[in-house]
Structure 1
Amino acid sequence: MVKLERITGLPIKFDRDNYSLVFDEDQIRVSKVRRYKIRNLRPYVLNRELKYPIDVYLTYSNIAKGQTNNLSLDITIIPPNLLGIEYVKTVPKKVPERKGKFRIVHTLYGSATLLIQDREDQDAKVYLTRLEAKNFLMIPAGYYYNFVNTRSTPLLIAEYYAKNLEHAASLKKMKGMGYYVISKNAKQEIVKNPHYKQLEKITKMKYSLFNKEFWGDNDKFPSSIVEMCSKKNKLSKIIT
């Protein structure tokens, strides 16, 4: 069992053997647990004939302890796997269009490859960054993103967002993000999605530089999610 309380502020544990969260239901409330199956991912993968793995990843939605506030928390567990030649990934999502707002993503366990895209156009700009355990990042409103697990260990991702906002899948028309992360000859490669005809070259950026570019002065950036969540009023003003 991996204790997550120190980095989330909630009495939650991660069961690495069963890829599940463990918590006392008298203390922690979860709105729902959604299992994403291969049929949910099929519109966004290179090989749309894939039948396996049947279960790809799962998300615990709207996790809360005690009194609720304007924040919602989802935790997604992404086991190590391949989707054909692609590394296992999540369905692309879009941060709702609310000027000056952000979505916070936070690696709780494992290592995440994160793709972030500025728009759903042929000439979209795509960023790639990596988040190690305890790293967190601000994704601006209007941007698209998804997580990829390229490691042989499970990946746990937390997402903090404004309460009551929908988490609709995006980019179905374009068959997913502008780039795919694949395994070729036991090596990791990044290949273009052929549905984007005028795609810019992918921009690889350290997560700290990404935060600085979109957030501003890094000296003002909280050092941990626990610190950030201790300032709930401030946090609720910037997330979406």
Structure 2
Amino acid sequence: MNLFADAFAWLADPANWSGAGSIPQRLGEHLWVSAVVLVIAAVIALPVGAWVGHTGRGREPAVMLSGGLRALPTLGVLTLFGTWLGIGLQAPVIALVILAIPPLLAGAYAGFESVDRRTIDAARAMGMRELQIVGKVELPLGLPIVVGGIRSATLQIIATATLAAYIADEGLGRFIFSGLKTRDYAEMLGGSILVILLALVVDGLFALAQRLVVPAGVRATRARELRSGPARSRTAVGQPITEGNQQ
């Protein structure tokens, strides 16, 4: 408990909230790196996932690619690119992009695949072109699942972006590595608490976004289904009564 008290005392110290290397500066760096990685990974993964989900082609390679990239050790990939590219943000960004692609890719093709094929056939029967079907039918209906993939990727990025401090002097991970080097465990734990709080806040925002992107018609249908739920079956209690055979 003393360690946690020391960590909260470190967090409450005004000296850690101003100047170079302060908590606000490291927090801003962490958010910036995470945002850059998310944008790059989304530009790569979301169009591919949407194409796979819309056409139904390439699903097996997409699943294999997602599983293979998930199996890569992030620290090993970071070290590999660090020895090649040197000190700086290039290696962490590449390693984090590789980490973020699988959940984005899986969320995209799962979201598009979740749309009822009968709905798509009806849209085609109405004369809608393929791009119109993607933009006006599949994307709105599958968007909650797509946002779920973005949510998962963002949380992984935020948690793993602490490794950026392993090669570059950036982000909240700097407190963890600095505390480890100097055996300042209050700083280490304080930095970890900041990462956890940041992840929880971002997760809450994405949870709200997932609810908001559900189409109004779908929400209304679900509400009606909940209000008019199936009638409960009645179970007879005790022995059955046979009419006409009572003694």
TM-score class, shorter: under 0.3
Q: Which structure is higher in strand share?
A: 1
State the TM-score, normalizing by the size of structure 2.
Answer: 0.21
Query: Which of these two proteins has the greater Rg computed from alpha carbons?
Result: 2
